[in-house]
Amino acid sequence: MGDIFLCYSSKDREQLVKGMLFHLTNYGLPVWYDRNKMLLGDQRDYKNFDEGVGQSDYSIVVISPNSIDVGCCALEELELIYDKYRCETMTVFPVLFNIKANELSDDFHWLLQLVYKELDPTIDSIGACYHIICRFLQDELSKYRIQNLSDINNTLAQTSTWGYVRELIKTYDAISDNNRNAKMAILFSACKYIEVQYGVDTLPAYYYKGVDRLFSATRLNLEIESREMLILERLFLLQLNSAVFGYIF
């Protein structure tokens, strides 16, 4: 899976971009962030355009009054991102920061054809990051044989092995959707069982870091959004496929 390229104006770094970087890297996602990738003396165009945009499969595009200024480096990056988007080789996540959709010129209207998020300094960027994490994990999950919980039941029904995992999933299905904290606890237990029983250290970091991040931040006691549930479900499915079954196409 390729990196997630961050396209933004340096003037938005402190108010928005650092927060998004914090959330995404806490979930183990590979983010191409110029401050972490570029050193004094590097060729700026090569690092940003060829190595950054060119080798990334995703891009977060932050559009703000700062980034649409003439001469902003983000505009050069955006041209390359648009080319990759048109060729269907890049997924783009538009974020409008301190700007409304009706304030954008026609040059940016292709971004408005996508699902976008409007943010300002009073809104935590974690909600937008949840969208990105969900999509990234779902794309990774598409490589595997078992892509949803019903697939697990069908697979486990054919074997007497993995009885504990089977019982956890049966319990999860029996819990009401309104009792989200209990469902989260079951998924968390399943992930920790796989971690202890099979090991996850050799897996990509985004297969397991989000499990502990969700727990450490909330102790699984929170008003939960459906996207958080989806994140934990997909993390469990990724671990089950790779660490337990090893089914990868």
pTM equals 0.90
CA dist list (Å): 177 to 147, 172, 183? 20, 9, 8
SS3 228: helix
Q: Check whether residue 136 and residue 26 sit in a common domain.
A: yes
d(CA 221, CA 183): 11
Cα gap 139→136, rounded to integer Å:
5
- Report pLDDT for 39: 44
Q: Is 165 in the same domain as 220?
A: yes
If phi over 0 gives left and psi between -120 and 50 gives alpha, with beta otherwise, what is residue 219?
Answer: left
- Of 19-23, 49-53, 189-193, the one with minimum mean pLDDT is 49-53
Q: State the total domains in the chain.
A: 2
110 has a pLDDT exceeding 80: yes
Question: Can you give the pLDDT at residue 167?
Answer: 84
Between 51 and 112, name the one with better pLDDT. 112
Range of the domain at 82: 3-140
Q: Residues 154, 133: one domain? A: no
Element (H, E) at 117: strand 117-119
Pair (228, 152) in one structural domain: yes
Scanning the chain, the segments in alpha helix (DSSP H) are 18-26, 34-37, 44-45, 73-86, 109-112, 126-141, 149-156, 163-174, 180-197, 209-218, 226-239
**Backbone phi, psi, residue 55, to 5°:** -105, 10
CA atoms within 13 A on the CB side of 233: 21
Q: In terms of C-beta density within 10 A (0-12 exposed, 13-18 middle, 19 or more buried), how is residue 35 classed?
A: exposed
Higher pLDDT pick, 24 / 52: 24
15 shares a domain with 54? yes
CA distance 155 to 62: 42
Stretch 27-47: mean pLDDT: 67
57-66, 172-181, 186-195, 240-249: least confident range: 240-249
Is residue 116 domain-shared with residue 156, that is, in the same domain? no
Q: Which of 107, 140, 173 is the last residue of a domain?
A: 140
Question: What order of strands is seen across the sheet that includes strand 31-32?
Answer: 31-32, 3-7, 56-63, 91-97, 117-119
User: For the packed helices 180-197 and 209-218, what is the interaxial angle rounded to 10 degrees?
Assistant: 140
If asked whether residues 163 and 124 sit together in one domain, one would say no
Residue 153 has pLDDT above 80, yes or no: no
pLDDT at residue 38 above 80?
Answer: no
The residue from 103, 123, 140 where one domain ends is: 140
Say whether both 23 and 46 belong to one domain.
yes
pLDDT score of 186 more than 60: yes
> Do 17 and 80 share a domain, yes or no?
yes
Mean pLDDT value across residues 83-87: 96
Share of the chain above pLDDT 70, in %: 86
